[in-house]
Amino acid sequence: MKETANVIARYAVVCQKNGLVPIIEPDILCDGNHSLEISEHINETMLSYVFKALADHQIYLEGTLLKTNFIRSGHSSCKISTIEENAAATLRVLQRTVPVAVPGILFLSGGLAENSATLNLNEVNRTPGKKPWALTFSFGRALHNSVLQAWQGRKENVPSAHCQLLKLAKANSYASMGCYEGVKRTPVGERSIFVASHAY
């Protein structure tokens, strides 16, 4: 973990020396059957190492963004944590590790179904507590899965795909403010998009 944190810090140095905003992404996979408590401990430890390394390398934190996951039990855990438990654990970890100088935290969907990712983001923003950072999304699969399903590679489906993308973007925009009220659920949006050992 320490070596990974140092690699992230060196990457941040290169970015800032070249006028770029480093996106700090200590990717912790949700694969496995671990509990919420273990996930919370591992994430807290990793983020502590990362921000120590960033301080050691004199990174200008106001010029960074943190890209991280929601704290939750492992994908194959026998006790899946609730959205409320995820939000509380996520905020505890962030409050204990992320300096207030960091302007924004972007959440990964981590294989959650589209609706679940949006609901997790919404709950993090609705949960009471100090949140000195903007808490928003950087979803991949949870933002384009049903869009690709609507499009199916056909020109005539482009308007439908655009409509679906707009719905998802609006839903996640509202969730970033903690005021998502829900939209019509779709079978695609409810389906898990988790892929074990997923890599881009």
Q: CB of 175 within 8 A of CB of 122?
A: yes
- DSSP one-letter string for 97-156: HS-TT--EEEE--TT--HHHHHHHHHHHHHS-S---SEEEE--SHHHHHHHHHHHTT-GG
Classify residue 181 as exposed, middle or buried by CB count within 10 Å of its CB (0-12, 13-18, 19+): exposed
The region that residue 163 occupies, defined by phi over 0 for left and psi between -120 and 50 for alpha, beta otherwise, is: alpha
- 3-state helix, strand, coil split of the chain in percent (to 5) is 50, 5, 40
Q: Does 67 qualify as catalytic in the annotation?
A: yes
Among candidate residues 25, 44, 85, 167, the one labeled active-site is 25
Among candidate residues 44, 52, 67, 131, the one labeled active-site is 67
Q: Does 3 qualify as catalytic in the annotation?
A: no
Question: Both tokens of residue 128?
Answer: 């009471």
Residue in this structure with the two tokens 């659920």, named with its chain if needed: 185
Residue 186's Cα: distance from chain center in Å?
Answer: 22
Catalytically active residues, by annotation: 25, 67
